[in-house]
Structure 1
């Protein structure tokens, strides 16, 4: 009887994880089907794993507010279960709130993600980066700089971290830092229109017309029909206006 109880104890989590994998596969390939599956699983006792899957399904369909709400439920459920994944779920909620355009709720979720010290490595860096984005939206550049520097320490391979660092440095008037960090971003993602747009902005601030033209032209070439591409095209127009 003792052996049977032990076997059941280990079998139940394994079955839940397998069920979660099945749910996520559906959520990422068919968001509406994923919502239905996760919701049914939740009703039958899926717990915080079902909520996380529901969040993934909503995020796949770009319903970010619904995704954030589901991730927060997953985080609270995981906290009750004393599962260390709660921090990851709070971080996912914060990211989803930012995508939904709610920086205040995003910051609160990210504060919760970082409070327990459970995040490590890239996950830690991404949470600091997202909180920096929320802080920029709240016009708190000093606090945002601290979070970006922590993000760079934990996730140095992420070009977005270098891009945001360069942008914040430019806006703060720190041209040498902006130039150094945009070079890091370019070395990792030269095919990203946002990186090229910012490289042009920084070159323009430095009085480097050729560099500004080059960055903005590349941004237009990479993504002509996007807001980034249109911003680069508008920036280029100043050269024509001066003729």
Structure 2
């Protein structure tokens, strides 16, 4: 008999030890996507900023400050937020993105929703799920997000809802996200983890299969595949998936959780 199951590594929570309730902070949050800039000069300057961020985020922040002082508006704020995100200063990044969103709203610029979504994503990385939900509510109610961008915002909104223990609403968000972000393995991973948490094992099995199909070399996907197999009582599959998770991402929280899960098999049988 499989004795215990690790908390999900990614569904809106940190990887946790078997006896620990998962926290609201995610183990990994995708870097915020830059909003498409408006005027040609802004677009060129934003692209230069993004190029600078790749090698020197501090210099990019200084450039964003100069640009803002020269009247750069929302695009300059976006540059600053992306620079802070590159430094993993998530709270500062979120504040910049939200300032960009407000500037864009004043200018009646449709990019406001994208900036709100970036802010929500950064707040999640900062472990501030309530602030993330507020920002993402603004992004989604604007009605201007489409396609993958809409799907990713819904996924982040679902993560904030799970942190608030509103699993039913999160299920609705993820199901909607899958209609526009179904090529993203993270969407299927989040869906599978939520289904397991809600006790819907047939849904969990199907969704983790979709995640594995798209990203078999993702340690978080393998960890959750082991979790679902364990819940299903399939020791062989659980062992194999957890071992693969540990192999794919050594010296990470995901690997440590997978190794802890594997060690349960060394415990004496009750």
Q: Name the count of aligned residue pairs.
A: 232
Q: How does 1:50-199 map to 2 (within 5 A)?
A: 50-199=76-225
Which one scores higher on RCO, CA 8 angstroms, separation ≥ 6?
A: 2
Residue 34 of structure 1: aligned partner: 60
SS in 2 for 1:157: coil
Q: Deviations over 1:3-62 (max 9, x none)?
A: xxxxxxxxx922222222212221232110011000011011111110000000000111
Aligned with residue 21 of structure 1, among 38, 42, 47: 47
Note if 1:212 corresponds to 2:238.
yes
Q: Distance in 2 between matches of 1:112 and 1:203?
A: 38
Residues 218-237 of structure 1: pairs in structure 2 closer than 5 A: 218-237=244-263
SS in 2 for 1:201: helix
TM-score (norm 1): 0.93
Which structure: greater helix fraction?
A: 1
Q: Which runs of 5+ in 1 are unaligned?
A: 1-11
* Matched-pair contact (CA < 8 Å) for 1:186–1:195: yes
SS in 2 for 1:143: helix
Task: Report the Cα distance in structure 1 between the residues aligned to 2:136 and 2:250, rounded to whole angstroms.
Answer: 34
Q: CA RMSD in A?
A: 1.1
Corresponding residue for residue 43 of structure 1: 69
TM-score by length of 2: 0.84
Structure 2: unaligned runs, 5 residues or longer: 1-37
CA contact (8 A) 1:93 1:106 kept: yes
- Whichever of the two has the greater Rg, that structure is 1
Runs of 4+ in 1 over 6 A off after TM superposition: none
Contact 1:28 1:56 in 2 (8 A): no
SS in 2 for 1:119: coil
